[in-house]
Structure 1
Amino acid sequence: MEPVHPGVGVTRRLPLLAVAAALLTGCAVVPQEAAPPVPCDPTPAAAVVPGDGVYLGANLDWGSETLAEYAAAAGHAPAVAVSFTGFPLGPDDGRNLDGAVDQLVAQGGLMLLTLEPHDGLAAVTDDAAADLAARLDGYNRRGVPVVVRFAHEMNGSWYAWGQQPAEYVAAFRRVAAAVHAEAPGSATMWAPNYGGGYPFAGGRYEAVAGSGDAAVLDTDGDGGVTAADDPYAPYWPGDDAVDWVGMSLYHWGSAHPWGENEVPEPGKFVAQLTGEYVGLAGDDRGLPDFHGTYGVQHGKPVAVPETAALYAPGSGGADELAVKQAWWRQVHDPALAQRLPRLAMVNWFEWDKDEPEIGGRVDWTAASGADTRAAYRADLPAWGRWADAVPSCD
């Protein structure tokens, strides 16, 4: 989720991602009738990247909508279905993942699996990683590729795995080694939080001044962790461990406090991915070029695992279609192939839910509402790739 910018004086809350963990951990997946397993030789994960165009997917409220229902609303079966789970996996986690995979077997597409180690990085053991890899290999052999987004937003201060660069890198590499060795049809994704507002002071897991973690995060060597330090590089696990890179980008509005419905300024989406963003909330031009550094220089496909634009019914400001359409037209801009050549995945956050930031409901959806669905479908880009473009078995 988009962070609070420096000087606002409000610490960043547990973002939508934490609430969205209910996707699999708090809400039972609504299964379709399970298809009989058809073992196959999985497509190597390196080949599960669009040869051209961009995979378009969705973050679904699995407790109230199936993949088939979303596909009917959007007019296409999504190439990517986003799921969240605690890690290490408990019995309920495994059952819910199995239910999601049943839907993907029937509908097609890949799973973007976000692993959340809420008990801390010490719980990410070799055994937990091996158990995960064995499960993923089974999913791959059912024809479902998986991209594992491990401990996302690790540069934030709001998660139990946050701002612990050395331990995070070791845990990521542990999971990646198991996945690469035992589930060759699966891949890994490294996904920090957008760096505007770094180092997100005041969070529960903020690196303590004077600690070893703070020393690693002090990339400019001035004796403290500040907005001048690189918000991404200390957490990089290495080219051999990372297959995809990603960053969630939401339009919350133009300036804090959030809650008024505001049309996003032109060019915001690309500017945030390239470290060139200047808006009413602040000037982020000092941030690294995420797409250029980790996509182009490191040669990785780039994902936007989650995106949407805030519309709060009854909160005043612009109308729903004006807000959402302005954002999805940036996200689906025909020129993105030239501006962001490494972009390979974009997933809309298809949830309607209460948000603590505004003390009320936010409708993030694009395809669910009658007032936006037709416009969303009409604006889907020609470069969008859907479930039928995702290779699953050789």
Structure 2
Amino acid sequence: MKNKKLTFIDLFAGCGGLSEGFIMSGKYDALAHVEWEIPMVRTLRSRLEKKWKHTNEDAFKRVLHFDIQKTEELINGNWKEETIKSFGSTNHIEVQKYGLKGLVGKRKVDLVIGGPPCQAYSVAGRAQDKNSMKEDYRNYLFESFIKVVEEFQPNIFVFENVPGILSACPGDKKVTERIFEYFDQHGYDIKTPDELKNVILSASDFGVPQKRNRVIIVGVRRASKTKNINLDSIYSEINKHKIKTPKTLRDVINHLPKFKPSDKITTLNGRKYCYIPIDEDKFIEENHKPRFQNERDIKIFREWVSKNMNKRPMIERIQFYNNLVGRNSKHAKYRSLDWDKPSQTIVAHLYKDGLMFIHPDAEQARTITVKEAALIQSFPNDFEFIENMGYNYKMIGNAVPPLMAEKIAIAINKILNNEV
């Protein structure tokens, strides 16, 4: 007998990387996705409609554009939503009647999944803030996650975040201690704060061509525990999906059309272009058009890659940078990717510049495109990013790699259906 699909709610859904992985597995139905940023909301609604065959109305109501901090309203519904259906169009207001309860109806919620924004927890983010992000409201968004879990009582939840969460300490108490205590009080077992360092998973171990470490906190409701549904069995099953040989950059982007810098700068729809395709007969999709670069950076990109500067000692890299730009900096802000290795972590900072993501082909002398960033994050080839370039980079950098999510989804499904 074929197992019935499990159901989930996705919180802090972004453009849908985590949801995409769970749906891709073919073993889950998504009941609702909650996200606050409009470009991400539009992208996810578009994906549900075009790929996963939801009607326009159904996609609109399932992807809730709402501030999760207003958790009671989120659960009960009937608020007014100010939204923009397509980039650049006029704002208008529609009434969102459903809320999570309305969308769930009488169905059981098997899982709640999601990951609060990582900026407050990341080591880099804390280093750049004078108060080490201790006063950032995002430190406590996990409380809203817990309220939704408490309301719907799923057997399992999946909470994803950066390794920096293990050392984050707002209010002079570790976030992981707060999370452990909150879930413990609400009847869920998770790994202890000391044990969480052992559940850092790398996306590259699951077929994603990227070195991306994430803490995956799985929780199990005590009232639903059986001999098979426990933390050790779940993590053990997830680990069975690890691969021995990581995918490389060459595996996923080498097939894409190539470019070369051009002496002529063209402008189309307000956007500057300074690269032309090497094969002029090939179709170039919008998200694979390189971002504009000035002559200095093009020169730096070409020399950086051809001289293999990534492998030089730091002092040489800094001197190389200072000589080319005429500065006396203590940091070299350039880094190229390697064809035969996984990429470094794709980050949201890509929306500002791609200087840490120089393409490995010296002749192309450019940074990676939106399309390349999406493939490195393991988004399917047909996933459409339809916002402006900056927002496309940002949502890709903030996403959970769908392929990693899919492997986690399959493992949890196997446990819940007692197939182990």
Please, what TM-score do these two structures have when normalized by structure 1?
A: 0.30
Larger Rg: 2
Relative contact order, higher structure (CA 8 A, sep 6+): 1
State the TM-score, normalizing by the size of structure 2.
0.28
Higher helix proportion: 2
